Chains A and B, each alone.
Chain A
Amino acid sequence: GESVGLHLPTLSVQEGDNSIINCAYSNSASDYFIWYKQESGKGPQFIIDIRSNMDKRQGQRVTVLLNKTVKHLSLQIAATQPGDSAVYFCAENRPGTASKLTFGTGTRLQVTL
């Protein structure tokens, strides 16, 4: 598969523990945020999204938290499983950019048994 990044920040988590992946975004006017998961050799896959008028959104085993005051986004994964091992990207949508998302550089999540 493709090389996603040789120098990505890495988070190691034991199977069954909760994971928290953080992302700082740059534009205070951004109105929409998405988390993507990228497994080795595959394209990014949508996990969860949140609009700027919300602070929290929950999905299946995942929760996204948005703190607009400090321009910070986090992805929480409950009961982390080996299949969660991947690179996780946050993306922000800036008003006036017509669907053109700006992606972060990613965090590698390694799940240990």
Chain B
Amino acid sequence: NAGVTQTPKFQVLKTGQSMTLQCAQDMNHNSMYWYRQDPGMGLRLIYYSASEGTTDKGEVPNGYNVSRLNKREFSLRLESAAPSQTSVYFCASSVPPGGGFSGANVLTFGAGSRLTVL
């Protein structure tokens, strides 16, 4: 049981290049998320998908696009990378909120993808 798997783990881009971060989960979770983590800023939500076929903007969506390919996979695309997008990116998944105390809103995170834009 791998949980949440992200690829690549490291990537260096030049300004203006594009790339896609891939994420897959094998826990049959409905909801998936993309966060970025910057020093002193905590984790900030970029986009999320409540279920297959739906996506919604988070706190910092500008410069990103997402695709919920199927229930397992949720990708994050940078169309034209900028130095401000240098960060560590985390994918996460969760069961839907409600339905019991211990499971609600608990996110399972991947190991992260470090992106540097020069």
A31 to B101 Cα, complex, angstroms: 12
Taking a contact as CB atoms under 8 Å apart, the answer to whether B88 and A3 are in contact is yes
In the assembled complex, the CB of B103 is this many whole angstroms from the nearest CB of chain A, namely 9
Q: A44-B109, A99-B31, A103-B43 are in contact. Are A4 and B101 (CB under 8 A)?
A: no
By the criterion of a CB under 8 Å from any partner CB, how many residues of chain B are at the interface? 33
The distance in angstroms between the C-alpha atoms of A26 and B90, with both chains bound, is 23
Q: Tell me if B97 counts as interface (CB < 8 A to partner A).
A: yes
Cross-chain contact B90 with A100 (CB below 8 angstroms): no
Partner of A4, one of B37, B48, B50, B111: B37
- Of the listed stretches A14-22, A45-53, A69-77, A78-86, name the one at the interface; the rest are far from the partner chain: A45-53
A25 within 8 A of B: no
The answer, yes or no, to whether B107 is at the interface (CB within 8 Å) is: yes
> At the interface, yes or no: B4 with Cβ under 8 Å from chain A?
yes
- What number of A residues sit within 8 Å (CB to CB) of B? 28
Chain A contact residues: over half helix, strand or loop, or mixed?
Answer: loop
Inter-chain CA distance A100–B114, complex, in Å, is 22
- A105 in contact with B42 given A2-B88, A2-B112 (CB within 8 Å): yes
Instruction: Say which residue of A42, A49, A101 sits within 8 Å of B111 (CB atoms).
Output: A42
Give Cα A56–Cα B93 distance, bound, in whole angstroms.
26
By a CB distance below 8 angstroms, the chain B residues around A98 are 50, 56, 97
Chain B 68-112, CB-CB to A under 8 Å as 1, else 0, gives: 000000000000000000001010101011000110111111111
Question: A4-B37, A32-B105 known; A103 and B112 CB under 8 Å?
Answer: no
Question: What are 12 pairs between A and B in contact, CB < 8 Å?
Answer: A6-B39, A7-B39, A8-B40, A43-B90, A49-B101, A49-B102, A49-B106, A93-B97, A99-B97, A100-B45, A101-B107, A106-B42
